[in-house]
């Protein structure tokens, strides 16, 4: 396992951005414990529907807010009070912003330090996402806008939780620039187009390829990161679909990975058969990601890629990725905006723009 400092990414241990942390259905009026960004966190859904994510420990005497089953605060079913949460130990109450707003037994005014670090969080496409930022700035961009999610013709993904691997997220992000793995790992043939575009916090890859399993067919993919942790890939060819690959740091040097696939059904509303087709397509897509995953889970960390002609733009990708590990005021030093076409992939011109889904 390698740490962020060994990749020379910047002063922050974890990148700034939106990250998946749980399935939306896991956010209820029962707070749950989570662990990401090297921190113990809690999450719950207030009675207004608001999602709260904050550090796990009460500032009074450091009680874990979500690891209690026996306190009367919990067994009375009143731990979540409106959008607030009560500590199981002495009943201090905190808003979803982490600020203490009631100490039930004390006539003294509430100390200023009686607050818990909280994080912007919301529901996104069947998940809960949170904004992590070591400087605690407000979100600087939005999670990707997936308009199709609210279109009844689009079949929602079933969430694949691929678990945790001891692999630094840098190694996962490298993949978006990696032209030469497409053949050996995914069975791509005849790569007629491989282009990367860097655009602020967004990075894109567009490809046109064949595949060994489906001779004669051509596939267009437009894949993009919106920030450092959420990747969507719009896939044309057999059906219009988006693949999701998301990764969230747990400790310095480990990540958790999720996958999903949402696709437009042939019928409106989708038939039982449409649902089965999309489910099969998702399994096919997940199996392709598992092929990457097996490499990530077993490789040694690579601090310097031995770049050769024909490789994609790994160096620029790593520079782009550094913006998220540096103070916002210095993120501009890592601006590599522009387009890179990897050598030997100019045969197929890109058709009209496939997607504008990224903000």
In the complex, what is the shortest distance from the CB of residue 205 to Fe ion, in angstroms, rounded to a whole number? 10
Cβ closest to ligand FES, residue 90 vs residue 153: 90
* Residues whose CB falls within 8 Å of the CB of residue 280, separated by 6 or more in sequence, listed in order: none
Q: Tell me which of ligand FES, Fe ion, none is bound by residue 13, counting a contact when its beta carbon lies within the kind-specific cut-off of 5 to 8 angstroms.
A: none
d(CA 139, CA 266): 37
Q: Tell me which of Fe ion, ligand FES, none is bound by residue 63, counting a contact when its beta carbon lies within the kind-specific cut-off of 5 to 8 angstroms.
A: ligand FES
Q: Tell me which of Fe ion, ligand FES, none is bound by residue 61, counting a contact when its beta carbon lies within the kind-specific cut-off of 5 to 8 angstroms.
A: ligand FES
Of 221, 231, 249, 193, nearest to 37 (Cα)? 249
d(CA 320, CA 323): 6
Cβ closest to ligand FES, residue 85 vs residue 191: 85
Of 50, 60, 153, 181, the residue at the interface with ligand FES (CB under 6 A) is: 60
In the complex, what is the shortest distance from the CB of residue 40 to ligand FES, in angstroms, rounded to a whole number? 14
In the complex, what is the shortest distance from the CB of residue 128 to Fe ion, in angstroms, rounded to a whole number? 26
Q: Does 56 bind ligand FES (CB under 6 A)?
A: no
Is-contact 260 159, C-beta < 8 A?
yes
Interaction mask 72-111, ligand FES, x per CB under 6 A = ---------------x-xx-x-------------------
Cβ closest to ligand FES, residue 10 vs residue 59: 59
Cβ closest to ligand FES, residue 79 vs residue 248: 79
In the complex, what is the shortest distance from the CB of residue 37 to ligand FES, in angstroms, rounded to a whole number? 22
Is-contact 328 140, C-beta < 8 A?
yes
d(CA 208, CA 351): 10
Of 54-62, 115-123, 236-244, 273-281, the segment contacting ligand FES by CB under 6 A is 54-62
Long-range contacts of 265-274 (CB under 8 A, 24+ apart): 265/153, 265/154, 265/155, 266/239, 267/153, 268/152, 268/153, 269/152, 269/153, 270/152, 270/153, 270/155, 274/155
In the complex, what is the shortest distance from the CB of residue 288 to Fe ion, in angstroms, rounded to a whole number? 7
Cβ closest to Fe ion, residue 60 vs residue 181: 181
In the complex, what is the shortest distance from the CB of residue 1 to Fe ion, in angstroms, rounded to a whole number? 21
In the complex, what is the shortest distance from the CB of residue 92 to ligand FES, in angstroms, rounded to a whole number? 4
Q: Does 61 bind ligand FES (CB under 6 A)?
A: yes
Q: Does 55 bind ligand FES (CB under 6 A)?
A: no
In the complex, what is the shortest distance from the CB of residue 91 to Fe ion, in angstroms, rounded to a whole number? 50
d(CA 20, CA 129): 4
Of 1-9, 56-64, 192-200, 333-341, the segment contacting ligand FES by CB under 6 A is 56-64
Q: Which residues bind ligand FES (CB under 6 A)?
A: 58, 60-61, 63, 87, 89-90, 92
């Amino acid at each position: 396992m390698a740490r962020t400092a060994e990749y020379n990414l910047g002063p922050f241990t974890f990148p700034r951005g939106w990250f998946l942390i749980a399935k939306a259905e896991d956010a209820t009026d029962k707070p749950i414990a989570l662990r990401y960004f090297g921190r113990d966190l809690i999450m719950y859904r207030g009675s207004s529907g608001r999602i709260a994510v904050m550090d796990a420990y009460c500032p009074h005497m450091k009680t874990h807010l979500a690891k209690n089953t026996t306190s009367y605060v919990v067994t009375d079913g009143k731990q979540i009070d409106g959008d607030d949460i009560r500590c199981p130990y002495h009943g201090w109450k905190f808003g979803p912003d982490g600020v203490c707003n009631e100490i039930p037994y004390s006539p003294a005014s509430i100390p200023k330090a009686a607050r818990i670090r909280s994080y912007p969080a919301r529901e996104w496409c069947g998940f809960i996402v949170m904004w992590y930022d070591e400087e605690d700035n407000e979100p600087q961009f939005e999670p990707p806008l997936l308009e199709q999610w609210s279109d009844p013709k689009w079949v929602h993904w079933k969430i694949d939780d691929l678990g945790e691997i001891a692999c630094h997220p840098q190694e996962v992000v490298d993949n978006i620039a990696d032209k030469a793995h497409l053949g050996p790992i995914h069975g791509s043939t005849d790569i007629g187009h491989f282009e990367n575009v860097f655009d602020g916090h967004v990075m894109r890859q567009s490809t046109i390829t064949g595949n060994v399993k489906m001779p004669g067919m051509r596939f267009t993919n437009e894949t993009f990161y919106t920030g450092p942790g959420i990747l969507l890939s719009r896939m044309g060819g057999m059906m219009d679909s988006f693949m999701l690959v998301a990764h969230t740091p747990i400790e310095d040097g480990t990540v958790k990975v999720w996958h999903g696939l949402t696709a437009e059904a042939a019928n409106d509303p989708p038939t039982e058969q449409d649902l089965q087709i999309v489910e099969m397509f998702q399994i096919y897509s997940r199996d392709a990601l598992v092929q990457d995953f097996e490499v990530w889970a077993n490789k040694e960390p690579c601090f310097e890629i031995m770049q050769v002609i024909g490789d994609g733009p790994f160096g620029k990708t790593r520079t782009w990725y550094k913006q998220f590990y540096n103070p916002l005021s210095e993120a501009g030093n890592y601006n590599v905006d522009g387009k890179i076409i990897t050598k030997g992939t100019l045969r197929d011109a890109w058709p009209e723009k496939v997607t504008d889904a990224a903000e």
